[in-house]
Amino acid sequence: MGILNMWKSKSALLRLMAVALCICIALLAFSTMLTVSSAPENLLQYEWINLGHDEGHTRFSNGPAPNKPEVLWSTAGTAYAAFSGKVFVVSGGGFPMPGFPPPPPPKLKALNPNTGEEMWSVDAPDIGWSTGIYKITDEYLLVDTNNGIACHRVSDGARMWSVDIQSGSILFEQPGTASYFPGRYSEELKMKYRVVHDTATLKNYVVAYNVSNPLVPATLAWKYECHEPSQLLCVGGGKVFVGSFEGAVYALDGKTGQLLWKSRKIGQTNTYSATYYNGKLYQGAGTTRLTCYNASTGEIIWEFDAGPRSFFVYGFAAAYGRIYAHNIDPWGGYVGCWDAETGELLWKTPAYYYIGYLVPAIADGKLYIGVSDGMPVAGAAEAPPVKFACIDAFTGEVLWELPGVMFSSPIIAYGKLYGSSGWPFTPTTYCISEIPPKDWPYWRGNMEKPGVATNQMGPVKLNLIWKYQTGGAVTSSPAIVNGKVYVGSYDKNLYCLDAYTGSLLWKFETGFRIASSPAVAGNKVYLGPDDGYVYCLDANTGALVWKKAVGGFYPSMMVEVASWQVRSSPIIVNNRLYVGGLDGKVYCLNALNGEILWSYTTGMPIVGSPAYYGDRIYITSLDRNVYCLDANTGTKLWNWTTPKVVYGWTYCSWLARPQ
């Protein structure tokens, strides 16, 4: 019996462990839905193969996406897709404007995704103001032209072939209508779909071209006569979904063109685009209702009525079991999030739309879309959005905004966001990317522009990320290098912390409280003479490399009140360390071994930090002088006694000491 009970206990324990393991795996899987490795070698796998990301136009990327509105680069043109390690844009063309020079001839270009530099550029006079670029294979792409479709080689842009679909009485759309989305492409079926109008017979057709072999021109696979079609909405599940001005949605077999179902919505047109997601079709662009269809049968599963005078515009996005869209209503409009299964409105964020041909993009738990500030524009019926926003996809909280630009169809690829503003007149493509943080190795950051962080921006929001408690006051300014924070404390320790988490990596105890700021160079961290020594430590381990007695130790001069404490902080130039001492001397040490190379004596203790420019050292002393010394020899070149009045300004060295 004891053995049986023991076996039952072990069996129960094993079952419990199995359940726990399953829970851990599930949690890990959920976490990886939102967190993707951003190592540079992995980023090229995250592509955006057409304007809607995929044939279903979910506009969702499972890769990383920017957390800050930092502009890495910008260039002329409109971005349409990103794949095969390139970003594809069209420049030139556009609308001719009265009183303005004609737009330059259009060009198809491939850009380096990291720098924006042209990898190649080819003339494309037959590409119009509204086009599409689609990935056929890693080696070939498809582009919509004014007359049909064309295939280009990805490596150099060379045109392989073109097919003239529009000819004679055949037009791409009904006269008087605008084709904002020039057809659709199925990556799965390798088929290109367009809507055409025969002005001779007044009949409308959906046509399909086979592009499965990019080495030979596309061939007509089928055509289907359709009543009052507006535009091709999207492709998904082997089907082509067609909108119409009569209020019907058509579902055609993508291979054969056979009608699978037709669903009518009385009083509602079906234009612009739709999204195919998890076996369902979500449509509502150009209407007051967001409708969810069973994509296999055409049955309406649910509808969300936004109310009279509301307007779902242009297109949707789908991810995380949710549908995202923007809506214009009498109160200004909003960005909304709906449960994809039930149609329940989960959240909405005011966006102050008037009318905006905008679609969102989603990645990494974030929704990106243009918004307006709601201000009226004198003499215009439209108030275009003037900000681009990043919104939490789960809560609707606005995380950051980029003023002055409006990206109508942003794309997310390679861990970056590419958006075009100014379309269709003078478009500019911007690359939004988190610029790698630069080091801040000295108490003023650098010697070229002290106190200035160049080519990067500060935090979008000053939220507390972490804090670390030392054993005393902290008046030392931190140095940050290679993801590590180095800072001194009145508890006599120099601390090395993880810059991202605040966790302690190591600490080193000195002989007195630390008020000076460390300097980092050559994988070494240097600390000034608070206790009469200059220290050189290994920046990774905190191990002592050398220490040198410099400047003496004067406890009577050490002010107890933390906010008053000022101490000279070292700088390192060309393997030389410069620092001031409480004995009134300026010291130059060999940064590799601590050997004193020279010193210069002033008339009072030095608590200010040196500055370097043009082989000269500038430093102040409590004797009220500013000194200029030769950085190589320590020879005094000049000194300047303060206070001094120059051009009406009074300069006082003891008031200009660094804190």
Residue type present at position 578: Y
The pLDDT assigned to 23 comes to 38
| 335 Cβ contact list (under 8 Å, min separation 6) | 324, 325, 326, 348, 349, 351, 360, 367, 369, 371, 391, 396
Cα(536)–Cα(547) distance, rounded to whole angstroms?
Answer: 6
Which superfamily does 43-432 belong to? YVTN repeat-like/Quinoprotein amine dehydrogenase (2.130.10.10)
The closest alpha carbon to 303, from 284, 320, 290, 316, belongs to 290
The ranges of the chain with pLDDT < 70 are 1-41, 94-98, 100, 129-130, 168-181, 265-270, 353-356, 373-385, 423-425, 448-449, 455-461, 552-566, 644-659
Cα(431)–Cα(415) distance, rounded to whole angstroms?
Answer: 10
Contact 284, 312 (CB under 8 A): yes
| 175 Cβ contact list (under 8 Å, min separation 6) | 197, 199
pTM attached to this predicted model: 0.71
216-224's contacts with Cβ under 8 Å and 24+ in sequence apart are 216/161, 217/151, 217/161, 217/162, 217/163, 218/149, 218/151, 218/161, 218/163, 218/192, 221/191, 221/255, 221/257, 222/256, 222/257, 223/196, 223/257, 224/252, 224/257, 224/258, 224/259
Fold of 479-655: Methylamine Dehydrogenase; Chain H (2.130.10)
The closest alpha carbon to 90, from 114, 73, 111, 106, belongs to 106
| 560 Cβ contact list (under 8 Å, min separation 6) | none
**Bridge partners of 263?**
249
Structural domain boundaries in the chain:
43-432, 479-655
Maximum separation of any 2 CA atoms in the chain, in Å: 102
| 280 Cβ contact list (under 8 Å, min separation 6) | 292, 293, 294, 295, 301, 340
Q: Quick check: do 43-432 and 479-655 share a fold?
A: yes
The pLDDT assigned to 423 comes to 63
Contact 578, 588 (CB under 8 A): yes
| 331 Cβ contact list (under 8 Å, min separation 6) | none
Cis peptide before 424 (omega within 30 of 0): yes
The pLDDT assigned to 479 comes to 94
Give the SS3 label for residue 341. coil
The pLDDT assigned to 607 comes to 83
Cα(368)–Cα(418) distance, rounded to whole angstroms?
Answer: 11
Apex CA 94: angle with CA 92 and CA 99, to 5°? 105
- The pairing of beta strand 191-198 with beta strand 644-646: unpaired
Q: The tokens of 345 are what?
A: 């409105």
